[in-house]
Structure 1
Amino acid sequence: MTAEIIDIRQNRERALARASTVLSEGFPIALPTETVYGLAADATNPAAITRIYETKGRPRFNPLICHVADFAMAERYAEFDPISRKLAEAFWPGPLTLILPLRAGSGIHALATAGLDTVGIRIPRGFAGELIRVLDRPLAAPSANTSGKVSPTSAAHVAEDLGEKLQLILDGGAAPVGVESTILRVEDGAVRMLRPGGVAGEEIERITGLPLIRAEGPVAIIEAPGMLASHYAPTAAVRLNASHVEPGEALIRFGDTPITGIEPATAVFDLSPSGDLAQAAANLFDYLKRADASGAKRIAIGPIPNEGLGEAINDRLARAAAPRE
């Protein structure tokens, strides 16, 4: 089986109809969101959710984010505290996921939440939200890639990795944000960041007026996606905060930062020559894939400021560079 690819920019109605059919039959599809491409299936259908885990090779203790069409739909499945509601009003639709208590009898299957009594909820921008509204069911949708590997930001990335395992890939062009959503959990009036992502921590603090609590060190309990120590990894090893290039390495740098010994690099990429962190985030996964395809034994990464979206970029790179089991 080779996946059918439909360009939603040219065939929106056909894409909606075909996607609705495949999803209603209990099979996952790949679809574009503003963050990365997602592997989406009906979050109320255990067989469909099982197919997500099988297609990705994802451990079942790692919960899935459930995507909904609007706030009213979110309230059907989760219970909101005042701070979470304020965050949703500020950033939805958009790249923010809130970990919330599951509403009793919500219908989201325990396989999607990894048996937890909470659920990660977000409202995506664009076509994904439109499809969910037509389907009128939440879509569980992790990134559309083999588990632990670099996330896809284009339909071509998905086709290269999972094209033989899927019936349908929807092509919406390059994902504009380029990193996954920020994941937050509000507990006892405090806001914890479980994963940095497409909404910067500074923006969250501005909306809530509260200091953001960040995780320190390895976590004992997986509360949300993207918390595994090793994740987002290319085949080649990754070396961080590089000031020089060693033989056999590809280089990814930021802001035209001076790096010595570039000449023998197998490939050189600059996430944003102008130093724009939003552009760097959008390019990150694509450049990791390109550097990996250059034949490099290792990928050297130049320093990136740990502010704004730089926090999400550095989080992904740290997990890409982590020791692999």
Structure 2
Amino acid sequence: MTHAQRLPTGTDDEREAAIAAATQAVQQGDLVVIPTDTVYGIGADAFDADAVADLLDAKGRGREMPPPVLVSAATTVDALATGLPGYARALIEEFWPGPLTLVCRQQPSLQWDLGETRGTVAIRMPDHDVALAVLERTGPLAVSSANLTGRPAALDAEAAEEMLGEEVAVIVDAGPAPGGEASTIVDVTGDQGRVLRRGALSLEDLNAVLEPLGATLTDEG
């Protein structure tokens, strides 16, 4: 593959061109880098097993570390996940779009291969207008932080290009990532939720929403 196209989003015309180029690349089975509200992400069509395998290869990750899936609307969660408990819906209502990734039981009918997921899928709706604009056109994307495994996540397009420029087709450059801290990951596959990774949202933030419902999360992060 040739080196990635890095496309600015400073004007409306540039933004539209960048989103269109990223969408086309995804539809062709290529990898893209997009900004999110936390860090930059490397993305692939979630339903293209070859593209997802390329994503893991690009990062130097194995199938035992499947990527999360980003969606453009909270309602999409029911197309991807099953048996979502009430406390998980309360978290979605409060914190999506935002830096909260939920590990859910996946719909058994889904024809995809994200790696060794053991019947689960990690889903997030990012709070970033460029990311959401891409996702609205592509559908769900498998997205992992834009970095080589073991290196810090890219907080701007330059860092993503330096690490992954040879592996992706398009880099959408929307300036520095506004968050800079990875999302908090919560396992909602059971009756009680578990924090698997602490991130931008604290346990206190999450439990403040759940305690009135008689639910709390355990912290395993």
TM-score of the alignment, normalized to the shorter chain, above 0.5: yes
Partner Cα separation in structure 1 for residue 65 and residue 189 of structure 2 = 21
Output aligned runs, 1:1-325, within 5 Å. Answer: 1-10=2-11, 11-79=14-82, 80-107=84-111, 109-110=112-113, 112-125=114-127, 126-135=129-138, 137-209=139-211, 210-215=215-220
Partner Cα separation in structure 2 for residue 77 and residue 167 of structure 1 = 27
Q: Which secondary structure state, in structure 1, belongs to the residue aligned with residue 54 of structure 2?
A: helix
Partner Cα separation in structure 1 for residue 37 and residue 208 of structure 2 = 22
Q: Which secondary structure state, in structure 2, belongs to the residue aligned with residue 128 of structure 1?
A: helix
Identity across matched positions, percent: 32
Larger RCO, structure (CA 8 Å, separation 6 or more)? 2
AA in 2 matched with 1:148? G
* 1:146–1:162 Cα contact (<8 Å) kept: yes
* 2:31–2:167 Cα contact (<8 Å) kept: no
Task: State the 1:83 CA deviation.
Answer: 0.6
* 2:155–2:176 Cα contact (<8 Å) kept: yes
* 1:31–1:170 Cα contact (<8 Å) kept: yes
Q: 1:203 to 1:171 in 2, by over 3 A?
A: same
Task: State the 1:208 CA deviation.
Answer: 0.5
AA in 2 matched with 1:141? V
Task: State the 1:75 CA deviation.
Answer: 1.1
Per-residue displacement from partner, 1:235-287 (whole Å, max 9, x unpaired)?
xxxxxxxxxxxxxxxxxxxxxxxxxxxxxxxxxxxxxxxxxxxxxxxxxxxxx
* 1:113–1:119 Cα contact (<8 Å) kept: no
Partner Cα separation in structure 2 for residue 113 and residue 120 of structure 1 = 12
AA in 2 matched with 1:77? L
Which has the higher mean CA deviation after the structures are superposed, 113-122 or 61-70?
Answer: 113-122
Partner Cα separation in structure 1 for residue 200 and residue 60 of structure 2 = 25
Partner Cα separation in structure 2 for residue 130 and residue 202 of structure 1 = 31
**Paired residues, number:** 213
Partner Cα separation in structure 1 for residue 45 and residue 69 of structure 2 = 9
Task: State the 1:115 CA deviation.
Answer: 3.7
Partner Cα separation in structure 2 for residue 176 and residue 205 of structure 1 = 24
Task: State the 1:113 CA deviation.
Answer: 4.6
Partner Cα separation in structure 2 for residue 182 and residue 142 of structure 1 = 14
Partner Cα separation in structure 2 for residue 57 and residue 42 of structure 1 = 18
* 2:19–2:172 Cα contact (<8 Å) kept: no
AA in 1 matched with 2:143? A
TM (normalized to structure 1)?
0.63
Per-residue displacement from partner, 1:40-83 (whole Å, max 9, x unpaired)?
00010001101101111111100210001102212111122111
Task: State the 1:164 CA deviation.
Answer: 2.2
Task: State the 1:191 CA deviation.
Answer: 2.0
CA RMSD of aligned residues (A): 1.4
Mind listing any 5+ residue stretches in structure 2 that lack a counterpart? none
Larger-gyration structure (1/2): 1
TM (normalized to structure 2)?
0.92
* 2:185–2:199 Cα contact (<8 Å) kept: yes
Mind listing any 5+ residue stretches in structure 1 that lack a counterpart? 217-325
Partner Cα separation in structure 2 for residue 206 and residue 57 of structure 1 = 37
Q: Which secondary structure state, in structure 2, belongs to the residue aligned with residue 190 of structure 1?
A: coil
Q: Which runs of 4+ in 1 moved over 4 A?
A: none
